[in-house]
């Protein structure tokens, strides 16, 4: 792996907590409106420059405004540019969970040469949109999350760096502590770079579309990434809440063809190929019969068994990405909240899956195969704008 230090553009120290934001896709329009109205320093101001316009913009017209707004933040010294090429050590912590990784540039050559391994297919229209955005704005504000094997030498370097004062240290309203250290010492930079050269491959944990889009950019060959030990990743599954008019008798008769069914108190199945179904205020364990699926890297996963044996053939959902009959919930959300959502939004069935492990992800990626959409919810989730790479 070739990693490259860079001169990040980033918020001044006293505004880092105000500037960095969650991905704009995770906010409702109402929340975005509140944040834009009450926080003149938030990155959401840049990414939503047309929010207060009567007519919303899209495509290149919007991206030109994004670029203009970004430049205004630079001109007003809300954002500053580091003078020296550096790596950035990032730590995120909440309760007893902590993540530590390195923000650096990686070469898209490693992506094209399959040293950066992918496990999800990209959607062409979304990939095209990201490419148009990058071509127009010429900056990256969201780091791609890449996982690598644990490295004791890197851990020792990081531990030593963490003893010094952090460039940023702030807590966000979701009670998550964020810290960032700038690494500009050439000896340390070289030592880190040389250690990554020993790592033959990394795995995309979050950012498949950004990787694919950046690899197609002209006049830029690098993508900003957070490189983190795979042992630190927290992987959850996506629960499916489904709207359907099927009667219980018809549903269970069809399920019996491919599944053994029994009542359960479990919230999450114990085996990867099992499914928990919540229907009519009762949870059921669905155990697939041996001849109901092909036993390979993809088909043995609960998310595949669910789609191939239930969602498509029984509930007539042909594409999970293009239906308004499904809502996805990460498995770290409390069951009672899922139940309330079902009641409030008229969902009839919920399906719960066992989280996929990092080894299962690696097995899929190493065999050049792809998981179904919404197979994994992987943490940490990074803040947008903490470091920005301008190219």
59: nearest Cα among 1, 136, 123: 136
Question: Which tens digits make up the pLDDT trace of 346-371?
Answer: 899 999 999 999 999 999 999 999 99
pLDDT band at 195 (very low <50, low <70, confident <90, very high): very high
Indicate the range of 19-23, 28-32, 203-207 predicted with least confidence: 28-32
Q: 41 pLDDT exceeds 90?
A: yes
Task: State the helix-helix crossing angle for 152-161 and 186-196, rounded to 10 degrees.
Answer: 150
Q: Alpha helix (H) ranges present in the chain?
A: 16-19, 29-38, 44-47, 59-75, 108-112, 124-137, 152-161, 186-196, 208-214, 248-258, 302-306, 335-345, 358-366
b/e sequence 81-107, b meaning 16+ C-beta within 10 Å: ebeeebbbbbbbbeeeeebbbbbbbbb
Residue 71, number of CB atoms within 10 A of its CB: 13
| pLDDT at residue 121, as a whole number | 83
What does the H/E/C string look like for 151-195?
CHHHHHHHHHHCCCCCCEEEECCCCCEEEEEEECCHHHHHHHHHH
Task: Indicate the average pLDDT of the chain.
Answer: 94
Per-residue model confidence (pLDDT) at position 331 = 67
Residue 333 has pLDDT above 90, yes or no: no
Task: Delimit the domains of the chain by residue range.
Answer: 3-14+78-233+379-390, 238-354
Name the DSSP letter for residue 320.
G
Is residue 175 a contact partner of residue 75, using CB atoms and an 8 Å limit?
Answer: no
What CATH code is assigned to 238-354? Answer: 3.30.1760
3-state secondary structure of 95: coil
Cα–Cα nearest to 179, from 82, 93, 105: 93
pLDDT 10s digits, 70-127: 999 999 999 999 999 999 999 999 888 999 999 999 999 999 999 999 998 887 888 9
| Residue 334 in this model has a pLDDT that exceeds 80 | no
Q: Which two tokens stand for residue 234?
A: 């927290």
pTM assigned to the model? 0.90
Neighbouring CB atoms inside 10 A of 359's CB total 9
Q: What is the pLDDT of residue 28?
A: 84
Contact (Cβ atoms closer than 8 angstroms) between residue 377 and residue 272: no
Taking residues 43-50, report their average pLDDT: 95
Averaged over 228-257, what is the pLDDT?
Answer: 95
DSSP string, 243-312: -----HHHHHHHHHHHEEEEE---SS-SSTT-EEEEETTEEEEEEE-GGGS--STTTTSHHHHHIIIIIT
What is the token pair recorded at 376?
């994994």
Residue 281: helix, strand or coil by DSSP?
A: coil
**What are 154-175's pLDDT values in tens digits?**
999 999 999 999 999 999 998 9
CA atoms within 13 A on the CB side of 170: 17
Alpha carbons 299 and 308: distance in angstroms, whole number: 9
Percent of the chain surpassing pLDDT 90: 82
Q: What is the CA radius of gyration of the chain?
A: 22
Structure confidence by residue, pLDDT tens digits, 178-191: 999 999 999 999 99
247-287 pLDDT, tens digit each: 999 999 999 999 999 999 998 999 999 999 999 999 999 99
**Residues 175, 156: Cα–Cα separation, whole Å:** 27
> What's the rounded Cα separation, in Å, for the pair 374 and 239?
9
Q: Is the pLDDT of residue 332 over 80?
A: no
**Contact criterion met (CB below 8 Å) for 242 and 251:** no
The owner of tokens 């990040």 is 8
Farthest-apart Cα atoms in the chain, separation: 69
Tokens of 54: 């009567």
Handedness of CA 119, 122, 128, 132 (dihedral sign): negative
- The dotted CATH code for 3-14+78-233+379-390 is 3.90.1530.10
3-state secondary structure of 89: strand
For residue 346, the 8-state DSSP code is: T
């Amino acid at each position: 792996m070739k990693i490259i230090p860079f001169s990040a553009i980033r918020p001044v120290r006293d505004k880092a907590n105000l500037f960095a934001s969650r991905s704009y896709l995770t906010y409702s329009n109402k929340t975005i409106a509140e944040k834009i109205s009450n926080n003149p320093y938030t990155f959401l101001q840049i990414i939503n420059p047309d929010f207060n316009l009567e007519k919303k913009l899209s495509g290149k017209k919007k991206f030109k405004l994004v670029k203009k707004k970004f430049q205004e933040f630079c001109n007003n010294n809300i954002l500053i540019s580091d003078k020296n090429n550096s790596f950035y050590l990032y730590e995120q912590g909440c309760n007893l969970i902590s993540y530590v990784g390195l923000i650096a540039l990686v070469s898209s050559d490693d992506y094209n040469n399959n040293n950066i391994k992918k496990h999800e297919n990209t959607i062409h229209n979304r990939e095209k949109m990201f490419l148009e955005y990058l071509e127009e704005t010429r900056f990256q504000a969201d780091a791609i999350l890449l996982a690598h094997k644990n490295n004791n030498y890197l851990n020792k370097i990081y531990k030593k760096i963490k003893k010094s004062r952090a460039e940023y240290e702030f807590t966000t309203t979701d009670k998550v502590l964020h810290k960032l250290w700038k690494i500009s010492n050439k000896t340390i930079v070289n030592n880190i770079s040389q250690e990554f050269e020993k790592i033959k491959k990394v795995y995309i944990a979050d950012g498949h579309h950004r990787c694919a889009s950046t690899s197609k950019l002209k006049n830029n060959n690098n993508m900003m990434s957070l490189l983190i030990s795979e042992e630190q990743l927290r992987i959850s599954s996506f629960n499916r809440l489904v709207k359907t008019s099927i009667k219980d008798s018809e549903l269970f008769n069809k399920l019996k063809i491919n599944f053994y069914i029994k009542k359960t108190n479990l919230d999450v199945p114990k085996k990867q190929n099992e499914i928990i179904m919540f229907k009519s205020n009762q949870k059921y364990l669905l155990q697939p019969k041996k001849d109901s699926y092909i036993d390979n890297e993809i088909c043995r996963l609960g998310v595949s068994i669910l789609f191939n044996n239930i969602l498509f053939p029984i509930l007539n959902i042909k594409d999970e990405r293009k239906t308004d009959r499904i809502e996805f919930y990460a498995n770290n959300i409390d069951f009672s909240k899922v139940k309330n959502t079902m009641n409030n939004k008229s969902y009839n069935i919920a399906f719960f899956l066992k989280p996929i492990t990092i080894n299962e992800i690696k097995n899929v990626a190493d065999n050049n195969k792809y998981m179904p959409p919404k197979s994994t919810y992987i943490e940490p989730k990074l803040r947008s704008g903490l470091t920005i790479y301008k190219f």
